[in-house]
Amino acid sequence: MIIQSISLSWDKKTRGAPYSTLRNRYNKSFGIPDSMIHDNSQLTFPVHKIELIQNENGIEMKYNKVEYVESRLHSWKLGCMEIQRDDDECIVYFNYSDHCGKPIRYDTRNHYLSEKSFELSKNEYGRISYNGRWIHPHTGEWIYRLHILNVYNSSCTDKELLNKKHPMKEYKQLAVLF
């Protein structure tokens, strides 16, 4: 399984145009590092984590690393997203919590939203996107963040796979951020 987690942050100064135009056109996927292509471990599997920050000068990459999670587990939580693996299938969920930021997402019974985003069979590619805002602990200003999770349910030898293909399944939980 190929998992790529992308987080793009910005502040109040770069909230509107022309900065929002750049964000909306920015990459939703990136090339896969060599270490993910050649990882043959049975105990762990790699997750490509990318953190981007936007300021008045543009978007810069702050973090681009491969981290490892235990493969023997049947579910993994990445932010407000959860991936469950069942044989050759994988199921991706969106589970709202206070860590997801404002605005709060509710279901029809006024509980925090928790729903299946999609299921992926072998060799299928899916993307889940959500956004939120938080209060910066030091300045008291709003911080805005877009999270993207790309999941390809198979191994891969093509580093540009996520850039060449369009997701077959997509789930968005994107709110208007004031």
- Span of 54-58, 70-74, 140-144, 174-178 with lowest mean pLDDT: 70-74
Return the HEC string of 53-67. EEECCEEEEEEEEEE
State how beta strands 44-55 and 142-152 pair: unpaired
Per-residue model confidence (pLDDT) at position 96: 95
Residue 144, pLDDT > 90, answer: yes
Residue 28, pLDDT > 70, answer: yes
The three-state secondary structure class of 171 is: strand
pLDDT in tens, 71-129: 777 888 888 999 998 888 999 999 999 989 999 999 999 999 999 999 999 999 999 99
Mean pLDDT along residues 154-170: 87
Per-residue model confidence (pLDDT) at position 149: 95
Domain residue ranges in the chain = 2-74+119-173
- The DSSP line for 95-154 is E--GGG-BSPPB-TTSSBPEEEEEEE-TT-EEEEEEEEEEE-TTT--EEEEEEEEEEESS
How much is the pTM? Answer: 0.91
State how beta strands 75-78 and 81-86 pair: antiparallel
